[in-house]
């Protein structure tokens, strides 16, 4: 993880981004991005819940890339608002963190950190959960890639994963909108309209895509 790699030129980074966009938008390919998204989404709920002092009961992920995180938590209060709000911003936040590591030359480290995150996620899964299939599969695929693949393929994968997180974050926020379960939870806690939360998620995820383009393509 201490070895650095040169970031790809902007046009090559953009080409990987367009390929990731196709994965996100084409129905036959989108489940890959959706499962990556739900892992990051539920993982963000769990991380935030742990930080603010909630015990995590477990995380569930189903075959259609929907999930839920249960806590030992109060039904009201600002900590629950924060924990409920951050899920839809989680994939974008992970994507931006990965983009920053890439610009610093720590491209392979992105893959190692993804493995560490997935192992922690696996430990929080509650049976029965389809995550017991998808999460170990993702860990195994990343480990084999890190262990045996040439550096060039590792770099392309790190870029691809970063783009998938950024783009799927925006797509899922737009697709779920005010019908999201988290929006309903936040409406119940704060009495603020579900549409407001949906707009905040959409603004945050689209803003992350814009920043990601500047970091990865324009190198600004």
Tens digits of residue pLDDT in 200-217: 999 999 999 999 999 999
State the Cα angle at 91 between 37 and 214, rounded to 5°.
125
Whole-number Cα distances in Å, 86 to 9, 60, 77: 32, 17, 15
Say whether pLDDT at 31 is over 60: yes
Say whether pLDDT at 62 is over 80: yes
Q: Is 202 helix (H, G, I), strand (E, B) or coil?
A: helix
Tens digit of each residue's pLDDT (9 = 90 or more) over 94-118: 999 999 999 999 999 999 999 999 9
Report the alpha-carbon distance of residue 209 to residue 170 in Å, rounded. Answer: 8
Name 150's Cβ contacts closer than 8 Å, sequence gap at least 6.
none
The CA-to-CA distance between both ends of the chain, in Å, stands at 25
Categorize the per-residue pLDDT at 2 as very low, low, confident or very high, splitting at 50, 70 and 90.
low
The per-residue b/e assignment along 149-172, b for 16 or more CB within 10 angstroms, e otherwise, is eeeeebbbbbbebbbbbbbbbbbb
Q: Which residue in 25, 24, 7 sits closest to 158, CA to CA?
A: 7
Say whether pLDDT at 162 is over 80: yes
Query: Quick check: 88 and 180 in contact, CB under 8 A?
Result: yes
pTM score over 0.75: yes
Q: Which of 6-10, 69-73, 161-165 has the lowest mean pLDDT?
A: 69-73
Amino acid 132: pLDDT: 96
């Amino acid at each position: 993880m201490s070895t650095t790699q040169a970031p790809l030129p902007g046009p090559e980074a953009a080409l990987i981004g367009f390929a990731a966009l196709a994965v996100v938008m084409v129905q036959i390919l989108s489940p890959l991005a959706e499962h990556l998204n739900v892992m990051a989404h539920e993982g963000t709920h769990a991380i935030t819940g742990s930080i603010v002092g909630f015990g995590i009961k477990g995380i569930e992920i189903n075959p259609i890339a929907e999930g839920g995180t249960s806590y030992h938590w109060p039904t009201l209060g600002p900590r629950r608002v924060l924990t409920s709000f951050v899920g839809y911003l989680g994939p974008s936040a992970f994507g931006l963190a990965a983009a920053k590591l890439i610009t610093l030359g720590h491209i392979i480290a992105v893959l190692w950190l993804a493995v560490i995150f997935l192992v922690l996620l696996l430990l929080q899964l509650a049976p029965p959960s389809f995550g017991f299939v998808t999460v170990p599969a993702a860990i195994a695929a990343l480990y084999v890639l890190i262990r045996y693949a040439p550096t060039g393929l590792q770099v392309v994968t790190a870029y691809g994963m970063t783009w998938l997180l950024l783009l799927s974050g925006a797509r899922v926020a737009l697709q779920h909108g005010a019908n999201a379960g988290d929006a309903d939870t936040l409406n119940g806690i704060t009495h603020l309209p579900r549409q407001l939360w949906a707009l905040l998620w959409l603004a945050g995820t689209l803003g992350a895509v814009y920043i990601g383009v500047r970091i990865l393509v324009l190198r600004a």
